[in-house]
Amino acid sequence: MYEFAVTPAVTNIRRRGVEITEVTPESLGAEIELEPGDRIIKVNGRVVRDYLDFRFQTAGETELVLDVRKKSGEDWQVELERDEGEDFGFTFEQIVPRQCANECLFCFCKGNPDDARKSLFVRDEDVRLSFLYGNYTTLTSITEDEMQRIIEQRLSPQYVSVHATDVKVRAYLLGVDNKRADISTQMNRLLDAGIEVHAQVVLCPGINDEEVLHKTINDLASEFPRITSVAIVPLGLTRYNTDARLTAVTPEFCSRVIDQVSKIQETLRARIGTNFALLGDEIYLRAGKPIPSRSHYGDYPQIEDGVGMVRSFKEQFAATTRRMQRRGMQLEHQRGTIVTGTLFAPVLRPLIERLNAKFGSALSVAGIDNTYFGGDVSVAGLLTGQDLLSARERISGDFVLIPKQMLKSDEDVMLDGMKLDQVQKGIRLPVHPVGLADLPRVLSSRIALN
């Protein structure tokens, strides 16, 4: 049975205008006496809904009239002149994501434990966040207003979760009816307007693989270069998503997908000059196959989706290591443990071993199991405080480096609600959150990590 979404597209209730959260001292914003808590309602008579609207409506304008609702409740109209491109010095409230109206079989929200951080349950489907951060949307409930906004404000590129170009298969995966699943009209409008699209497929064994995948890649590639790339990433299951319609991804499945997609890539390279369809790193790692070379990924169009991240990291690591050698650096003072997921640990370990041999450091890599989400979750960013504590005996040295994605972006809290200082007390060592890309720099820095 198909599950049909019954909820309409929900736009969160919002107040008029956009709120200023910070004003840089001595900036233009401070000069016109605007303060945190004030809301900009209109720019030159045009309504402002969020900071993207503010950016768009002020761009290129030197004479401006701002309608402002002051924090005090007063309404101001501010007339000002500014130099071309002069910054206002404002920081604005974050965009509140608009929610999706789908019931995807594999939705990550279904795979969360009940007590997981609230933000993990946000089902965002927001073309603004797609443009700003590369979040994927399905376009199944895009409104005319949103469509016009993308086109008028040039919110390009857009990242679209296609999953399958076979409408019935797409409808099944998304839990919507065929009419909603068919986004050919929406896609054509975006492409005809010159909006760049990157597509994504979440590959679910037995549903959108094999011939369906073949058709999806070829259909999307027929729109190249208007559609620039398609990222193919594997279904991830936690122990909480037990939907019987889903089959877990296995190493054998990953090997078959690599074989299938490599052949398609070869044909596409000959036809359009690019691989176009790029497999997520996880597929290679789980299959135990080598990660493709740098040239395979072009300009890494979907790296944030875990496509080419490992290759890029290895390149960056090698470059930093060479720089360190040229400078004759030594790292004898660095004795600690780098914690990561079980998927990435085999990639990182040999690099760190070579680093130790060259620079005299004593660093070890601990790939730890994710007991909080369970299932086949093995990525570093989803590890929790509990997972770290249960791996205590595998931690050695004077400090611990953890992936910064383990923490909330604005607070030192882990996905299971545990605070960073609780973990430090439990482990009895300093714990430093580090971005993967920053790892070589942090290790080569002279900062005392202990």
Q: Which residue has the tokens 């720019």?
A: 43
3 state DSSP class of 378: coil
Stretch binding ligand SF4 (CB under 6 A), from 97-105, 255-263, 266-274, 333-341 = 97-105
Contact by Cβ (8 Å): 62, 43: no
Stretch binding ligand SF4 (CB under 6 A), from 19-27, 95-103, 176-184, 279-287 = 95-103
The structure tokens listed for 155 are 């919110």
Q: Is 109 in the site for ligand SF4 (CB under 6 A)?
A: yes
Cα–Cα distance between 150 and 187 in angstroms, integer?
12
Beta strands in 224-318 (DSSP E): 227-234, 277-279
Stretch binding ligand SF4 (CB under 6 A), from 90-98, 102-110, 322-330, 353-361 = 102-110
Q: Is 123 in the site for ligand SF4 (CB under 6 A)?
A: yes
* Binding test (CB under 6 A) with ligand SF4, winner from 57, 58, 135, 138: 138
* Binding test (CB under 6 A) with ligand SF4, winner from 53, 125, 281, 376: 125
**Least distance from ligand SF4 to the Cβ atom of residue 246, Å:** 13
The structure tokens listed for 249 are 């991804």
Q: Is 141 in the site for ligand SF4 (CB under 6 A)?
A: no
Residue placing its CB nearer to ligand SF4 in the complex, 200 or 337? 200
Q: Is 186 in the site for ligand SF4 (CB under 6 A)?
A: no
* Binding test (CB under 6 A) with ligand SF4, winner from 43, 100, 164, 181: 100
Q: Is 107 in the site for ligand SF4 (CB under 6 A)?
A: yes
**Least distance from ligand SF4 to the Cβ atom of residue 199, Å:** 14
The structure tokens listed for 46 are 């045009």
Stretch binding ligand SF4 (CB under 6 A), from 73-81, 104-112, 246-254, 321-329 = 104-112
CA neighbor of 318 nearest in space, from 444, 234, 194, 206: 444
Q: Is 201 in the site for ligand SF4 (CB under 6 A)?
A: no
**Least distance from ligand SF4 to the Cβ atom of residue 175, Å:** 7
Cα–Cα distance between 5 and 17 in angstroms, integer?
31
CB burial string 196-217: b at 16+ within 10 A, e below: bbbbbbbbbbebbbeebbeebb
Q: Is 104 in the site for ligand SF4 (CB under 6 A)?
A: yes
Summarize as ranges the residues that interact with ligand SF4 (CB under 6 A): 100, 102-104, 107, 109, 123, 125, 138
